[in-house]
Chain A
Amino acid sequence: MASRLSVHQQQQLGRVAGYAGLLLLTFVIGAPLFWMLSSSLKTLSQIYTFPPQWIPTDPQWSNFKEAWNSVPFGRFYVNSFIITIAGSALQLTNGILCAYAFAFLDFPFKNVLFMFVIAALMVPGEVVILPNFLFFGNTVRDWFGLESNWINTYQAVVLPGAATAFGTFLMRQGFMGLPRDVLDAARVDGAGHLRTMFGIVLPMAKPIVVTFGLISVVNKWNDYLWPLIITRTVEMRPITVGVRLLYDAEGNNNWGVVMAGTCFVVMPLIAVYLFAQRYIIDGLTAGATKG
């Protein structure tokens, strides 16, 4: 009988259906995140209640304390911060220099060299975990004549992720989109390349640089496979691997404590996301739709 409804009624119906859809979407995506938070505040007996409580009647912070003491989360935080900051700083530096060179400097067969960078996207880290692991084992020791290998060291965690093909591509696109007359004016004024880069290109291309920086930070913080392999002792583990250790330690029953541990991992990223949501979403969609 839809045709009998007036246009206004049809619109009303559409709105109601739209809001119902929004509610469903909010529940499907939000419920697991909310569940993580609310369970982290539950006592063991509240965890083992069915039907479960959505909001714990008497929220407890003790799970956080217990999680912190069960595995060394303080140490995990320090490791993750070191790995993230060093890794992102390297990627940003390497990416900016390389992107600047490909955008503004002349060189024979530049296109071929650029393809060489881009082709690295086809070799994800997952493919080369084994040879890279062996490299930090015996190869690095033999090359530099070291006493011991580099397994279970920060440099071994960070260095394989120091280059960036994606960042070079993204920032080169951003640099080449800058208005040329401003750059030419700087050249006429006698500005060298370093001054052009720091004084003009980076400030003008700030959104794309910040976007890549954020993507890099998020990826380094969340990195799991490589740190899992290359770190061997609890003291060297980053927080992503640490939460897995907590899960192993507390097992399948002390869920409140385990959820508190996952909150430790997720919180810093959620904080970054709240402040930089625009940059991240806009940057990713720009990279995808205009690339």
Chain B
Amino acid sequence: MVGTSTVDYGETIAAPRPRAKRKKFFRAEWGLFLLFIAPNFFFLILFTYWPLWENIKLSLQKTDLLAFSGKNKFVGLDNYRYIFDNRTFNLVLKNTFIFIVACVVLTIVLGLLSAMLLNLRLRGRNGVRALVFAPTLVSGAAIGVVWAYIFDPRFGLLAQVLDWFAIPSPRWLDRPEWALWAVIIVYVWKNLGFATVIFLAGLQGIPRDLYDAAKVDGANAWWRFKSVTIPMLSPISFFLMVTSILATFQAFDIIQTMTSGGPAYATTTLVYYVYDQSFGQGANFGRAAAAAIVLFISMLVVTIIQFGFSEKRVHYDG
């Protein structure tokens, strides 16, 4: 999920240009502008905005799958009513919530720790930084397959590690109470590098004299962490939190390869539910579309909250 879900909005500033020049370029420049933005706009409209509209329409219809040729019946909010009354869908919502909160909290806490570690002047830290970031770039599908083996309760890597501490390995992927946590562990492992690198950039941007001033005031390491590091990193933490939430909403490949949403829907999140209802067994397009809109609105709410906060958020530019 590298970079696809960055939500940051720079203000649009029209390029300043001398007045006389602007007049000369007037019409030609408008045409060129339209020509240059046309391809991007064409694909954005055709494959993002228009299908969103189609999706909203689909979610209000009952689809006849056998004779799929526009014979859809308008049913109002029936699909939404159905999924919100549905026990599976409510489990899906609960899974999604646990999944997102656990992933985001763990990624941010562990990411901050590893960034602070890599910020120390230790030998080999550049190599470790490169290693920690590597899983971010690696295909989630491949990662999911590798971890399915690592979680193997008899011969997997994790069974070995747990054995060092004389703990028997649970049957991670066969048990509903463990499977979601197995998936969470893999996502945190994969995304730790991104959080680390972002926090590291933030840590390196904190002016040293702030720490020196705190030292002069007699603050110990913990106090320096609490009164300098944490507040200085808060804008970046907020940014990371929002991007992680949005990325985690979209998580699919690892879940599909590791557990296929099972056992007993224990790892079915919203995205997986949309996929399953669209193309899985017992597919129902109307319900799938309704679930997709629930996904869209959830992400929209997160984005709007972020927008509201970042307007007010304090900048600590040194």
Contacts and interface: CB of A to CB of B under 8 A. Distances in A.
Contacts of A219: 2-4
A65 interface: no
Contact of A122 (B17, B43, B300): B300
A249 B78 CA distance: 40
Contact of B292 (A121, A127, A270): A127
A240 interface: yes
B137 interface: yes
A205 B124 CA distance: 31
A107 B34 CA distance: 8
Interface in A83-111: 90, 93-95, 97-98, 100-108, 110-111
B29 A106 contact: yes
B219 interface: no
A21 B117 contact: yes
B245 to A, nearest CB: 12
A168 B147 CA distance: 35
A101 B55 contact: no
Contact of B134 (A31, A33, A114): A33
Contact of B135 (A18, A29, A134, A176): A29
A113 B37 CA distance: 10
Interface in A249-272: 252, 255, 258-259, 261-262, 265-266, 269-270
Contacts of B25: 106
B114 A25 contact: yes
Interface string B49-92: 11110110010000000001100000000000000000000000
A190 to B, nearest CB: 12
A107 B26 CA distance: 9
A118 B42 CA distance: 15
Interface stretch (B97-105, B175-183, B222-230, B251-259): B251-259
B106 interface: no
A138 B7 CA distance: 34
A118 B9 contact: yes
Interface in A218-232: 218-219, 221-222, 224-225, 228-229
Contacts of A243: 139, 141-142, 145, 257
Contact of B6 (A97, A127, A287): A287
B117 A258 contact: no
Contacts of A110: 12, 14, 33
Main secondary structure of the interface of B (DSSP, over half): helix
A163 B278 contact: no
Contacts of B43: 90, 94, 159-160, 162-163
Interface in B146-198: 146-150, 152, 154-155, 157, 159-160, 163, 189, 192-194, 197-198
A164 to B, nearest CB: 7
B69 A258 contact: no
Interface in B192-224: 192-194, 197-198, 200-202, 205
A180 to B, nearest CB: 8
Nearest to B243: A288
B193 A29 contact: yes
A48 B155 CA distance: 6
A132 interface: yes
A163 B303 contact: no
A22 B138 CA distance: 22
Interface string A109-140: 01101111110111110111111111100100
Contact of B122 (A19, A134, A135): A19
A259 B146 contact: yes
Nearest to B303: A122
Contacts of B149: 35, 39, 255, 258-259
A283 to B, nearest CB: 8
A285 B246 CA distance: 18
Given A47-B155, A102-B37, A29 B192 contact: yes
A32 B37 contact: no
Given A94-B43, A102-B12, A132-B47, A30 B52 contact: no
B46 to A, nearest CB: 8
A165 interface: yes
B285 interface: yes
A114 B300 CA distance: 18
Top 5 A-B pairs, shortest CB-CB distance: A163-B43, A291-B8, A101-B36, A131-B51, A128-B51
19 contacts: A32-B147, A121-B6, A122-B299, A122-B303, A123-B52, A127-B52, A127-B292, A135-B47, A163-B41, A166-B3, A222-B139, A240-B253, A247-B257, A266-B138, A273-B134, A280-B2, A285-B197, A289-B198, A291-B10
Interface of A: 14-15, 18-19, 21-22, 25-26, 28-33, 35-36, 39, 47-52, 90, 93-95, 97-98, 100-108, 110-111, 113-118, 120-124, 126-135, 138, 159-166, 168-170, 172-173, 176, 180, 187, 193, 215, 218-219, 221-222, 224-225, 228-229, 239-241, 243-244, 247, 252, 255, 258-259, 261-262, 265-266, 269-270, 273, 277, 280-281, 284-285, 287-289, 291
Given A22-B117, A222-B253, A288-B198, 15 more contacts: A25-B117, A25-B132, A29-B131, A29-B134, A47-B155, A50-B154, A52-B155, A106-B25, A106-B33, A120-B48, A121-B5, A123-B52, A172-B10, A240-B141, A266-B138
